[in-house]
Structure 1
């Protein structure tokens, strides 16, 4: 008898509605963050805005190290509270005659692509005659819009890799448990399109890895790499992962066909953006020149780099700046929370990878993406430590383009670690409760750090500071907060029900076929009533067997 259950269960209305709800909540949280966070207080936001304004003023893109901050804009980067919104001038007033400071803006090490896009946004907002913080808010909201596809891409990637709607929805909700992603995604940053391009690359690569033979997918994968590399050299981190996914894909095209597809994946970004890095290499000797002069310090004769000291700094810096180092890398989340999340995630991957039923192939290939990012940061920071006698690690953002791949690895690991369906339901629901609590706590940290002198409270003085600081007063804060609460609660209810909804009975299938378990993943016989279908029940009701639940689909 031929199996009637697809290895990739259809998407039901409830699942789709839940994913849309998570996406809307994600967008609303980012919009609220963009509005509440004081202007220029995002990670490296001053440098990004300054680069945009240089281009908006009609200036060319200088060589690395030759871009200097506009003196008037640099003066707005105050360490404490900004002046009241009504007292802030327009960009024409703060730029003045275009005087520049001697301080180097490092953004000139990147291609000008995204800065040109934001310069167009600045012109559409009539930046010269509009208050400067309103222009910054407009550019922030453009970045929020660019981030909006990320939840859907995470969901599609995890669903394709695990064939489990429950796992995919839960993994998508985990995006809210990474406050630094919201902090960066709601700021003016060249990293934003790279993050979205990385999520798109992950989805397309997982499709190829799991049997998609379409040439359109291959071309789109090359295009996603081209988008990432057009923004910054950090986009190159995705190339080894994408190439390996194509070369080891089990799609029946043969070794020669896979090599040809791999060449196409490489050729598209090479043709579209490779010329920029070739020109940089010819001019400076490196594809991404350092905007700052090379400076090194010699270690004392009785001292040398200490790997243990570096390892401690690297662990703390990477984990803090990945999960949440808010403001201008000023306000970390609780170290207990950060270390717990990090240890749990790493333990799950290692432990899950050792299980006999683990999909190690998918885990290893998807894991190459974040592993490449980690190796790049590790090499850069060790070189800094060895030549400068110290290191400050805040490059957790390098993992964000690979976040979808990280969640694929996590999903594959947890699928084999938790086999009983009842435990999977409890775990998914626990995640659905914890993630919004983390997001709320992070927003509280942002508010307290920005308006309450880092005291966790809502005082009259803090409220007045907020009301006078945000661009259009407190009403949008109230509206966005209410929208997050209402949509978030409705989505939580949908996701809660989706996590516990029983799937249809499994179909009879030949011994060599892959069945689909109660939440849409590969079936694993654990010897429990939670996953074992009763043969008598299967034979008793053929009508029930063929009911895929039009509202939900196979799970």
Structure 2
């Protein structure tokens, strides 16, 4: 048997039962959400469904401006969705929060609900679908789910049943999030208790399980990003192993093939390896030898075992794998369209939308941006028709920020992490937040409106924040025990 080395774990630790139970409960909660939320009652869910149905029928992936919505998804939306603004029926009053009721007596007969291509459902309508602007991984994966269902069943189920199946597939995608948070905590050097608290923190954001239970490409990006941050939590503590570098590269490529938002992660990968090298230069021994094999190896010697060359080599491997896995898509799009990430938004969000006399002001923008982002992050369900009160969202935000402040306060913690290393765990959500703010501001300047302010866009960066919440809760727990003694 190989002897333990700085790049080989001595033994494998077990996942605590609490974390396993939390993971199962998280998946069950998402599955419940998938049933409780009316079909089509989620941001852009009908548009996501239109692209999946197009691919499941054997069609190639369309250009960014090459897909029209189909009759079937509009029919489904009008039949099942509650928000009138999502797909208004003739004569309905449409407001930001108006909803239609669906009495049981008016439910369509289950035995006669149409498949997506029945009764002209496959026919396109005039409205362009914006979803082909995204890379294909998520949509091809969901289309594969439908292909398997149709192969087993001998044909397509009704459209509503296929969407229900896709929702369950998305609930399955986000089920591992508590486990990944625990793993990130262990790789960062936390003890099992603190890492378990990090896993439980995934329950703190109600909107996370709601979005995770619907058909939305953010769910695959969130899964991939949580796994990536778990690896980077070890990198920032000094892990420069080839296996980790390859894993980082693969996950980076998967993220970029899911959504262009993942472009924020390559700079963070470089930053993680830089901080890992600084650790190698300044530390001479493990911070806590009792920590088991799920922690990253700690370097030895004044410059670390591999020194800066090890960090550069690992970063080069991660970068090469990411480029090899994802560049083909973006280069192909650039060749066809002249842009790496083209969108039909430019045709819809124009200066024609500006109100008379509009002048953009940062203060006016922030007065809309901050409360909308806060409320939509914590709980603005469906098509934002069911919203938690603003005071509750603000209170939750204050508690969350307080926990992060507690985690960042010590210069060095018992697990040996520095404040700089802990601050790195916030960079994913901060990078995504900056991306959302800059894009929303740009669109506001153009249109005078307030588009793109979506709290769910931050979910992919939350793994590191949840680890810090675990750090804070463990710190407060130990402090309370000390006071009690």
CA distance in 1, matches of 2:355, 2:122: 44
Q: CA RMSD in A?
A: 2.7
Pick from 118, 133, 144 the counterpart of residue 160 of structure 2.
133
Partner of 2:187: 160
Instruction: Map 1:423-462 onto structure 2 (within 5 A).
Output: 423=480
* 2:158 is equivalent to residue 101 of structure 1: no
Structure 2: distance between partners of 1:92 and 1:352:
50
**CA distance 1:27–1:365, shift in 2 (3 Å):** same
Task: Tell whether the 8 Å contact from 2:61 to 2:132 is kept in structure 1 after alignment.
Answer: yes
- Which of 288, 295, 307 aligns to 1:254? It is 307
C-alpha offsets along residues 489-524 of structure 1, whole Å, 9 cap, x if unaligned?
xxxxxxxxxxxxxxxxxxxxxxxxxxxxxxxxxxxx
Alignment partner of 1:326 out of 373, 381, 386: 381
Distance change (3 Å), C-alpha of 1:308 and 1:18: same
Counterparts of residues 60-459 of structure 1 (less than 5 Å): 60-78=60-78, 79=84, 80-81=100-101, 84-87=107-110, 89-94=113-118, 96=120, 98-126=122-150, 128-249=155-276, 250=280, 251=299, 252=304, 253-294=306-347, 295-297=350-352, 304-350=359-405, 352-357=407-412, 359-412=418-471, 418=476, 421=478, 423=480
For each residue in 1:31-83, what CA deviation from the matched residue of structure 2 results, as whole angstroms up to 9, or x when unmatched? Answer: 11112222121222111111100111222222112211002221221233455
* In structure 2, distance between residues paired with 1:195 and 1:383: 25
Query: Equivalents in 2 of 1:411, 1:248: separation in Å?
Result: 21
TM-score by length of 1: 0.70
Alignment-derived partner of residue 284 in structure 2: none
The structure that has the greater radius of gyration is 1
Partner SS, residue 103 of structure 1: strand
Residues 9, 303 of structure 1: alpha-carbon distance in 2 compared, 3 angstrom cutoff: farther
**Contact 1:161–1:362 (CA under 8 A) maintained in structure 2:** no
| Paired residues of 1:45 and 1:188 also in contact (CA < 8 A) | yes
Unaligned runs of 5+ in 2: 1-8, 79-83, 85-99, 281-298
* 323-332 or 127-136, larger mean C-alpha shift: 127-136
Change (3 A) 1:85 1:246: farther
Aligned residues: 418
C-alpha distance 209-70 of structure 1, shift in aligned 2 (>3 A): same
Match runs of 1:510-529 below 5 Å: none
Q: Deviations over 1:265-292 (max 9, x none)?
A: 1111211111211222233332111123
Q: Provide the rounded CA distance (Å) in 1 between the counterparts of 2:115 and 2:131.
A: 20
Equivalent residue, structure 2, for 1:17: 17
Q: How far is the alpha carbon of 1:159 from its aligned partner?
A: 3.2
